[in-house]
Amino acid sequence: MISILLDVVGGALLLLGLVLLTISLIGVLRLPDTYGQLHAQGLAAGPGVIAVLASSIATEDATIITFAVLAIAFVALTSPVSGHAIARAAHRRGDREARKAGGRSEGQA
């Protein structure tokens, strides 16, 4: 009974993670400026990767669970730092695409 429940939860987390990663990818490809792309990547990719890694906990193998927990901690700690570093580099570079859009995406007034 527990094994079936773990399989269902693991599958649901895997599906959720893949959906979030797909949304993130579409946002990165479709948004015109660096800041919009960074926003799409940061909001969906971090939780998407964490959900995919959390789905591996359903394997009931102590080694895999340990590595998954360590990887989740690594992603949770480094994702905000890398997003900030990329945004700061784009700002210092004087991101031309963001200036053309006036700091806004194309669909906004």
87 has pLDDT over 70: yes
Q: How many separate domains does the chain show?
A: 1
Which two structure tokens, joined as six digits, stand for 15?
Answer: 């599906």
Query: How confident is the model over 46-80, as pLDDT tens digits?
Result: 889 999 999 988 887 889 999 999 999 998 898 88
> What's the rounded Cα separation, in Å, for the pair 1 and 54?
20
pLDDT-based confidence at residue 8 (cuts at 50, 70, 90): very high
Range of weakest confidence among 21-25, 72-76, 88-92, 102-106: 102-106
Q: pTM (2 decimals)? A: 0.75
Q: Which domain holds residue 51?
A: 1-106
Q: In Å, how far are 39, 56, 70, 71, 108 from 74, measured between CA atoms?
A: 20, 16, 6, 5, 35
